[in-house]
Amino acid sequence: MIEIDNLSKKFGDLTAVDSISMNINEGEVFGFLGPNGAGKTTTVRMLCTLISKTSGNARISGYNIGDKDDSLKIRKIIGLVPDNVGLSEHLSAYDNLEFFARVHDLSKTERKERIQYFLEMLGLWDKRNVSVGTFSKGMKQKLAIARALIHDPQVLFLDEPTANLDPEAAKTVRDFILDLKKQKKTIFLNTHNLDEAQRICDRIGILNTKLVSIGTPKDLEDAVRVRKTVIELEQVTDSVLKSVQKLSLPNLDVEGNTITFDTIDSGSKNWPIVEAIVHAGGHVNIVKVVGSTLEDVYLKLVGENQ
């Protein structure tokens, strides 16, 4: 569905996207993670033919993003929810969708059916005749998603769709994305929300100008294989802290009454550490070994590629 080959973008001397290559399958929800300035939005803008590439290439459904005629065809089969929704705030919700439905040459019957379908699905039908300028951020975001889908695109690009939304609005948007997933839409999702990516994405790419890693959430977690020992105490006293610090434990972290560090070889090797804590007067409540999370993977891989 989406084929990307050594795609790059430079702005003067600044390389925003550096020779990324990957394929995204039809019906897949693909998450793009990365820090601010990593090139996520620039990549989406190139794929949506809003800005030109510097080098490399990409194709969507066989259409070349660098070809003028193909660019027009690409725009007909994609939908985009940008980071700035850009709605006409003086118009009603219905009229916003009506305008874009006309742009895509939908018939009067198609316009009426699709506008009602999306407004009802996103809980905005009762607000259809209300000026968008009075809408909350969550309502505007939902309307922007409806606008991007009004022409029934094959591919939907979402740039931080739940950013700055309250938990209820964010859940509505995530649930809607999952509904689209059931409809076999191909979804390209830019997000900073690791939990969101883990919940709804089939695969995840981690970008930091270059493509750092790509795989399913589980594949990425298994690749890093970070296991941590978590020791919860009644209290981390000064003597306990000094005792632990003398052991030079990898990635030691003390927060409140919890001590965390990278597991050494296996869980059994942690018991001498527990004994040292007890010898220093510590009262241990819980000792557990936990596997790596997507957050561990993200921080490790991005940190290694700064």
256 vs 258: CA distance, rounded Å: 6
* pLDDT tens by residue, 125-141: 999 999 999 998 888 98
Which CATH number is associated with domain 2-221?
A: 3.40.50.300
Q: In this model, does residue 151 exceed pLDDT 90?
A: yes
Residue-level pLDDT at 250: 83
304 vs 301: CA distance, rounded Å: 5
Instruction: State the amino acid at position 234 in one-letter form.
Output: E
Q: Are 58 and 4 in contact (CB under 8 A)?
A: yes
pLDDT band at 291 (very low <50, low <70, confident <90, very high): low
Q: In this model, does residue 83 exceed pLDDT 90?
A: no
Q: In this model, does residue 269 exceed pLDDT 90?
A: no
Neighbour tally for 246: CB within 10 Å: 10
Q: When comparing pLDDT for 185 and 262, which is higher? A: 185
* pLDDT tens by residue, 231-258: 999 999 999 988 888 888 888 889 999 9
pLDDT band at 293 (very low <50, low <70, confident <90, very high): low
Find out if CATH 3.30.70.2470 is the number for domain 227-290.
yes
Neighbour tally for 170: CB within 10 Å: 18
Residue-level pLDDT at 266: 53
Q: Where in the chain are the domains?
A: 2-221, 227-290
Q: In this model, does residue 306 exceed pLDDT 80?
A: no
Same fold, 2-221 and 227-290: no
* pLDDT tens by residue, 91-123: 999 999 999 999 999 999 999 999 999 999 888
